[in-house]
Chain A
Amino acid sequence: KQEVTQIPAALSVPEGENLVLNCSFTDSAIYNLQWFRQDPGKGLTSLLLIQSSQREQTSGRLNASLDKSSGRSTLYIAASQPGDSATYLCAVYGNQFYFGTGTSLTVIP
């Protein structure tokens, strides 16, 4: 059974810092990996989708990498802002979604 783990569970950084969130998964037989943002009272917002054949995806200040063979993905956030404060989830999709445990990010103004 696929297991997805995220480290750290919580992170607090001052505004402007660059940061990295980590995601690891146990079964490399995946179609894609997605990074999501979760805000209170909202559904999930998809940030980046990496297909299994891809190595990375970029959107604005966000960059996600995927190393399928080692079962790892990272989400890099450049020049963090208070508006980036949220819970970040990674999920792999094989025959269904498997979600990580999430990283709660707080960016301090």
Chain B
Amino acid sequence: GAGVSQSPSNKVTEKGKDVELRCDPISGHTALYWYRQSLGQGLEFLIYFQGNSAPDKSGLPSDRFSAERTGGSVSTLTIQRTQQEDSAVYLCASSTQGTGDGETQYFGPGTRLLVL
């Protein structure tokens, strides 16, 4: 079956514009995660969904960042009024149940965002 897909693969935007990133998890996976990786930095956790609800929003760096998940499937990460420091690769992952005890997370290819 298909893995985790993300779109767009690359996005170039101007400072101040809003962007929307999409993630399609593996069918049947209840847990979905958003991360970002800035140049030279480790993976940074942003938000985690269990079904359609987000029990952990602690990683969102500011109120310009929001995410939603509908139908227990597709998720969108929205960044409003983008800043240059938002430039990074945004990665989505999904897992079967989200139990966290060594459960494999399957990563998408990422969206490379560049804010000019």
Segment at the A interface, from B19-27, B43-51, B69-77: B43-51
B74-116 vs A: 1/0 string, CB under 8 Å? 0000000000000000010000001111101101010000000
Q: Is the CB of B102 within 8 A of A43?
A: no
Cβ–Cβ < 8 Å partners of B43 in chain A: 34, 36, 44, 46
Contact-size category for A? 20 to 34
Q: Is the CB of B100 within 8 A of A41?
A: yes
Q: Does any Cβ of A come within 8 Å of B59's Cβ? A: yes
Number of interface residues of B (CB under 8 A): 25
Which of B42, B48, B104, B109 interacts with A43 by CB under 8 Å?
Answer: B48
Q: Is the CB of A87 within 8 A of B100?
A: yes
Docked CA distance A51–B41 (Å): 10
Q: Is the CB of B105 within 8 A of A44?
A: yes
Docked CA distance A102–B95 (Å): 15
